[in-house]
Amino acid sequence: MSKRILVLDDNQDILEVVNEVLSYENFEVHTTSTSQNILEVAHEYHPDLVILDYLLQDGNGGDICKQLKADEKLSNIPVIIFSAYINRDVDYPAFGCEAVIPKPFDLDELVNKVNDLTKQN
């Protein structure tokens, strides 16, 4: 059974690339461009990993990560945060994420990180 990946990013091009690359790697991918009801989506989809964009038009990936980690049923799911703001003064580990990948991201780095984190799960 393939591992399930939930991806939240408000950039449709990034969603398409991530979906294509991870689907090619035999992951089942669910993408969304809105943070509205993201916890409900996660409860229904049962992902093995969540990928969140840090800066969203309708939210903040760091805050969403905290919400996921605070939820009893979702807290063990590894989270990767994508961010174009790596050099800014943001304490990403404080959100509870297992990894941060800078944008623009390297596809091999993404696949390797997803594989590493889903093997642990």
| pLDDT at 18 (0 to 100) | 97
pTM of the entire predicted model:
0.95
Set out the domains of the chain in order of their start, with CATH numbers. 4-120 (3.40.50.2300)
Mean pLDDT along residues 62-75: 97
Burial (CB count within 10 angstroms: exposed 0-12, middle 13-18, buried 19+), residue 95: buried
Q: Give the mean model confidence (pLDDT) for residues 79-89.
A: 86
Average pLDDT, the chain: 94
Determine the 3-state secondary structure of 38 from DSSP: helix
pLDDT tens, 26-68?
999 999 999 999 999 999 999 999 999 999 999 899 999 999 9
